Amino acid sequence: MTALPKWSTARAPAGRITYVNGQYIHHGEASVHVEDRGLQLGDSIYEVCNVSGGTLIDEAPHLDRMERSLREIRMVMPMSREALQLVMREVVRRNRVHHGFIYIQITRGVMRRDHALPAQPLKPGLIISARNVPLSVLDKKLASGVKAITRPDERWARRDIKTTQLLPNALARTDAREAGALEAWLVDADGFITEGAVANAWIVDADGNVVTRALSNDVLPGVTRQVVLQAAEEAQLPVIQRKFTVAEALSAREAFITSSTSTAIGVVEIDGRKIGNGQPGPLTRRIHDLYAKKAGLKSV
């Protein structure tokens, strides 16, 4: 968590600005090469970092996860970590982001189309954008909770790597939207929930335990998930990392999701079935408050 520099309206151009491969460009004019492997093959990873009150939230663990994803797919950093942090801050400053998020995408680079990885490392592509999100959007979700549906988990086997290969997630999320829900909880071949299309999944079981799936190749190691687990442990809340079924979720006292852009949001309905009393539960609210305090969220 690092404070960003003060904005200077005299220096910051109007309109959204995106950083692409060494240049700060007006968002509508930003582009990549037609043979960028991220565009053609999904050969890229990404990170999304929350910005709250002009501060990057959970910055270090996001960059740690980004570097791990790069190692797992044998890709090099586009620049040093310190230089990347300077670019991130400049993108946030130029876009005057007070509450919102920053998006980072690293592609393997540009080469003639070939499925195999290049014999020698390419110069990676780097895209960074940012935008404001009104606090009222999050406040409404915190107050009323959100709905979810379940869908088969049809993603590739290395879900622990934060790649841009998100077509199954996009289709599941579209199904959720068409069903009047926000999120889709993905279900493996054995009937256990892995995670949401865009967020980690949690329940509060009949005994009052907070339950989320243990880390493996099946789920993304969410940064907000990590901080929530730390905050819950410090508060001595009972947390169990294990698999849980759709039936358990439907009969849970509470359910919620965590992600960098949604903190901890109550899930009040799954597949048309009300969870608990149909409102965000007290433990969900407490976990949000514990996370907000630990992460340093502002005015939420």
Q: Residues 239, 187: one domain? A: yes
**Domain with 125 in it: what CATH number?**
3.30.470.10
Task: Report the Cα 82 to chain-centroid distance in Å.
Answer: 22
How high is the pLDDT of residue 7? 39
Q: Residues 235, 157: one domain? A: yes
Q: Residues 65, 152: one domain? A: no
How high is the pLDDT of residue 13? 46
Please count the helices (runs of H) and the strands (runs of E) in the chain.
Answer: 8, 16
Q: Residues 156, 112: one domain? A: no
How high is the pLDDT of residue 255? 98
How high is the pLDDT of residue 1? 45
Q: What are the helix (H) ranges across 42-124?
A: 59-72, 81-94
How high is the pLDDT of residue 298? 80
Low pLDDT (below 50) residues in the chain: 1-13, 300
How high is the pLDDT of residue 4? 46
Final residue of a structural domain among 73, 98, 133:
133
Please give the tally of structural domains in the chain. Answer: 2
How high is the pLDDT of residue 14? 61
Tell whether 300 is covered by a domain: no
How high is the pLDDT of residue 281? 97
Tell whether 173 is covered by a domain: yes
Quote the strand ranges of the chain, DSSP E.
2-3, 17-20, 23-26, 44-52, 55-56, 100-107, 125-132, 146-152, 183-187, 193-196, 200-204, 210-212, 239-241, 254-259, 263-270, 273-274
pTM of the model: 0.93
How high is the pLDDT of residue 96? 97
How high is the pLDDT of residue 299? 60
How high is the pLDDT of residue 78? 97
How high is the pLDDT of residue 2? 46
Cβ atoms of 197 and 184 closer than 8 Å: yes
- Domain extent, residue 154, equals 138-295
DSSP for residue 91: H
Task: Report, as residue numbers or ranges, the catalytic residues.
Answer: 162
